[in-house]
Amino acid sequence: MRRDPTRAEQKLWSLLRGGQLEGLKFRRQVPIGPYIADFACFDPYVIVECDGGQHADSGYDEARDSWFKAEGFTVIRLWNVDVIDNPEAALNEILRRIGEQE
């Protein structure tokens, strides 16, 4: 995925990179344990995933999210269509969820 990101991942990365979102330092396609996170921030511990329809009711994603949470991460899942159609709302959701963990 690093070489061929989805349109939503490209859009979100253009909004997260370089500390554009309130100075938060995100990295993309980050290996963490046995998984690769779409986007990860290590201060605070946040993982953001851009998901398409194939992720609806995914047992794999539930297990993955549980592992990340056990490692101290907040996992935020955004639908691709939401990132593309309303990127401001997607960024607001990320900030809202980060605010809940503080």
Spacing of C-alpha 53 from chain mean position: 16
30 neighbors 49 (Cβ within 8 angstroms): no
Whole-prediction pTM value? 0.88
Q: What are the residue boundaries of the structural domains of the chain, listed by start?
A: 7-101
Query: Which residues does the chain have with pLDDT short of 70?
Result: 1-3, 53-58, 102
CATH topology of domain 7-101: Endonuclease; Chain A (3.40.960)
In tens, the pLDDT along 48-72 reads 999 876 555 668 888 999 999 999 9
- Residue-level pLDDT at 53: 61
- Residue-level pLDDT at 71: 97
Structure tokens at 39: 């986007």
- Residue-level pLDDT at 70: 97
DSSP 6: -
